[in-house]
Amino acid sequence: MEHSSLKGAGLEIDTVVAELRTLRLESLENRQRRDRPPELPSRKVLIGIADGLSAALFPHRLGLPELTNQSVDYYVGHMLDVTLRDLLVQVRRELRFASGLDATSNADREQAAAITQAFAKRLPHIRGLLESDIQAAYEGDPAARSIDEILVCYPGFTAITHYRLAHELHSLGAPLIARMISEIAHSATGIEIHPGARIGGFFFIDHGTGVVIGETAIIGEHVRLYQAVTLGAKRFPVDEHGALVKGNIRHPIVENDVVIYAGATILGRITIGRGSTIGGNVWLTRSVPPGSNISQAQIRNEVFDGGAGI
């Protein structure tokens, strides 16, 4: 292949292509699959699945505008039939990718069907949780004029909807698809919720941009977060070879009826006691008892009184 117009400028495209090929073949993801790159779940298809499931859960607001009481059940059934069939294919892809096989085994087919069926049975439960989340948003935000406004406008609700779908898939054995669905919402809303996190009902994220909730975080019921709140890890332990230890418990526990205001950073496996209020821009790495009111000024005084951070 010749690239005469670029050679005159001193650029050898063929050399760059060859070097990129060498790096690609030696890269981590292809070391064991050089002859046949793996077929991963499709992000584009998963976007459609998430949208279809949302429409099935809330057909009058996120589905077709002209639905009637007579046609809505037919529409919901149709959307579930289409989206669950698509989901089954994507779960098969994930299981095949995880197995490292070139073709889907019978065991993977059976497991994919079981995961999809179990997920379908959980949809009423997800709908009930989302109903509580809508109620929390409506009661917790004076700017919310209607339930419909929350459904179609609030990025926090979009992120929570994707999280609740993803969390069930994560629990059922499809963690890659779950992470992809969560990241679809992250891209759209700026809110990152790992599907492994455990979040109770009546959950409300106001404004939302910059919120991060880690994999092993546990959040109780009636919890409200504002923008730029982080529930993260304090440190990342490594093994004897210097590699990060995966899957260890490292994120906070937030008990029921807690409010965490904008910019607060809460790190490590600590517990925020029931009914506590964490003020804006607080940096917190210790547990606090139920009913606490933690402000930035209090944290600063504790640091300076102990002689640390100076």
- Which CATH number covers residue 215? 2.160.10.10
Same domain? 267 vs 142: no
Q: What is the pLDDT of residues 259-283, one digit of tens each?
A: 999 999 999 999 999 999 999 999 9
pLDDT-derived band at 14, boundaries 50, 70, 90 = confident
Enclosing domain of residue 274: 210-310
pLDDT over threshold 70, residue 139: yes
Whether 61 maps to a domain, the answer reads: yes
Burial 138-159 (b: 16+ CB within 10 A, else e): beebeebeeeeebbeebbbbbb
DSSP, res 223: -
Q: Which amino acid is at 75?
A: Y
Cβ–Cβ < 8 Å for 169, 115: yes
- Which residue type, as a one-letter code, is found at position 4? S
- Lowest mean pLDDT, pick from 13-17, 153-157, 282-286: 13-17
Mean pLDDT of the residues in the chain:
90
Q: Enter the pTM of the model.
A: 0.88
Residue 70, pLDDT > 80, answer yes
pLDDT for residue 28: 59
- pLDDT at residue 95 in the model: 96
Same domain, 138 and 87: yes
Question: Does residue 156 sit in the same domain as residue 252?
Answer: no
- Is pLDDT at 299 greater than 70 in this prediction? yes
- Among candidates 299, 300, 301, 304, which has minimal Cα distance to 286? 299
- Does one domain contain both 105 and 41? yes
CATH number, domain of 113, equals 1.10.3130.10
Residues 216 and 133 in one domain: no
Query: Under DSSP, is residue 231 helix (H, G, I), strand (E, B) or coil?
Result: strand
